[in-house]
Amino acid sequence: MTPRREFHFVFGLRPQAEPFHLVHFLALESCRRTQSADAIHLHCRHLPWGPWWDRIAPHLAIHRVGEAPRGFDPARYAEPSEGRLIAEHGYDYAHEADFLRLEILRDGGGAYADLDTLFVERYPDAWFAHDCVLGEEPAIAGPDGVLRPSLCNAVILARAGSRFVARWIDDARASFDGTWSRHSCAAASRLWREAPGEVHVLPMCRLYRHGPTRAGIAALFEQLDDRLEGVASLHLWAHLWWDARRVDFSRFHAGLVTPEWIARGETTVAAIARRFDLGSAVGLGSEL
C-alpha cells in the first residue's frame, strides 16, 4: 500500500506585520505543483495575509496552533549569550517550530518542510515508507576541530508513531538550552550515531545541494546552477540573507525576490521558480 503523501508546514507563530512573501508562496506552490500531495497542511497561530496568501490559501488545510509545545521554554534563553542574542532578535519562533514539527509528524506522519524550501522534483514514495528520513547537511566541526557528519531538520519525513521521532522529542525536551541547534540538528545527528538503523539518511545533494555559506547563498541567488540531477528540493537558508541589513553572508535580500527577478531566470532559484508560472503577477512586485 502506497503511503499517503501528506506535507506539513509551520508559519505564523507570531503576529504577521507584513504580507505573506513570494518566497513562502513559492515553497507551497512548488510543493503543490511537484509533489502529488494528498494534502498540504499549514500549521499557524496567526493567519498570514496578503495577495500571495490569498492565491495559495485555497489549496491548503489550515490548522491553528495553540499553546507552545512542551519542552520549548523561553526562560532558557537567559543564560547562554547565544540564547540572549536569539531572543533579542526574535528568532525564538524558529525553536518553537522545531518542537512543533516533531509533534506533528509523530501524530500524523508525512513530510515536514521549512517555508524556505523550493521543491524541484517529486519525492519518491519510498521515502514516505521509512520510519524517518533526514538529509545530510555540511559537516560541523566539533570542539576538537574534527568535522562530524550533521543532519538537518529543515525537511523531515516520518511515519506516524516513528520511533526515531519519539526519541528525538524526548531528547529535545531534555537538551533545549536556548542555543541554536543542540536540541534539533545536533540532537538528530547524535541519535543517528547511536542508532543508525532507525533513520534513513539522504546524501547532501538530494535536499541541501548548496550549503549555508557565502558560496552556497551565491550559488542559489547570484549564479545559475543547471546541474540539478538528483536534487529533490533546495533549502534556501533564509535567515542568513532575508534582512537587507545582514550582509555577512550575502548582499542579496528578500526585497529582491520579485516576479520580475524570477521571470529573468538568471539564477538557480529564479530558474526553478519560473517553472511555476506567476502569470499576471509580473510587474507587481514581491507583494503581488
What's the confidence (pLDDT) of residue 78?
86
Q: Give percent of the chain above pLDDT 70.
A: 97
Three-class secondary structure of residue 11 per DSSP: strand
Four-residue CA torsion sign, 150, 40, 252, 255: negative
Which residue, among 34, 31, 167, 174, has the nearest Cα to 106 in the 3D structure?
167
What's the confidence (pLDDT) of residue 52?
98
Q: Give percent of the chain above pLDDT 90.
A: 79
Residue 94 has pLDDT above 80, yes or no: yes
Which residue, among 39, 43, 30, has the nearest Cα to 59 in the 3D structure?
39
Domains of the chain in sequence order: 6-204 (3.90.550)
State how far the Cα of 152 lies from the Cα of 188, in Å rounded to an integer. Answer: 8
pLDDT band, very low/low/confident/very high, at 34 (cuts 50, 70, 90): very high
What residues contact residue 236 under an 8 Å CB cut-off, 6+ apart?
23, 116, 117, 118, 220, 269
**What beta strand segments (E) does the chain contain?**
6-11, 39-44, 61-64, 110-113, 117-119, 132-141, 147-158, 200-202, 233-235
What's the confidence (pLDDT) of residue 183?
86
Residue with more model confidence, 280 or 252: 252
The pLDDT tens digits of the residues spanning 137-190 come to 998 888 888 888 899 999 999 999 999 999 999 999 999 988 878 888 999 999
CB 261 within 8 A of CB 270: yes
**What's the mean pLDDT when you consider all of the chain?**
94
Residue 284 has pLDDT above 60, yes or no: no
What's the confidence (pLDDT) of residue 278?
84
Residue 22 has pLDDT above 70, yes or no: yes
What are the φ/ψ torsions at residue 266 (nearest 5 degrees)?
Answer: -90, -5
Q: Read out DSSP for 120-163?
A: -SPPPHHHHHSSEEEEEEEEEE-TTS-EEEEEEEEEEEE-TT-H
Residue 283 has pLDDT above 50, yes or no: no
What's the confidence (pLDDT) of residue 229?
97
Mean of the pLDDT values across residues 41-66? 98
Q: Give the other-Cβ count within 10 Å of 17's Cβ.
A: 6
**CB environment 35-52: b (16+ within 10 A), e (fewer):** bebeebbbbbbeebebeb
pLDDT band, very low/low/confident/very high, at 20 (cuts 50, 70, 90): very high
Cell of 219: 550559488
State how far the Cα of 150 lies from the Cα of 187, in Å rounded to an integer. Answer: 10
Q: Which of 18-22, 58-62, 135-139 has the lowest mean pLDDT?
A: 135-139
CA atoms within 13 A on the CB side of 176: 22
Residue 118 DSSP one-character state: E
Residue 281 has pLDDT above 60, yes or no: no
CB 278 within 8 A of CB 29: no
Mean of the pLDDT values across residues 212-236? 98
**CB environment 183-202: b (16+ within 10 A), e (fewer):** bbbbbbbebbeeeeebbbbb
Which residue, among 85, 67, 66, has the nearest Cα to 77 in the 3D structure?
85
What's the confidence (pLDDT) of residue 282?
45
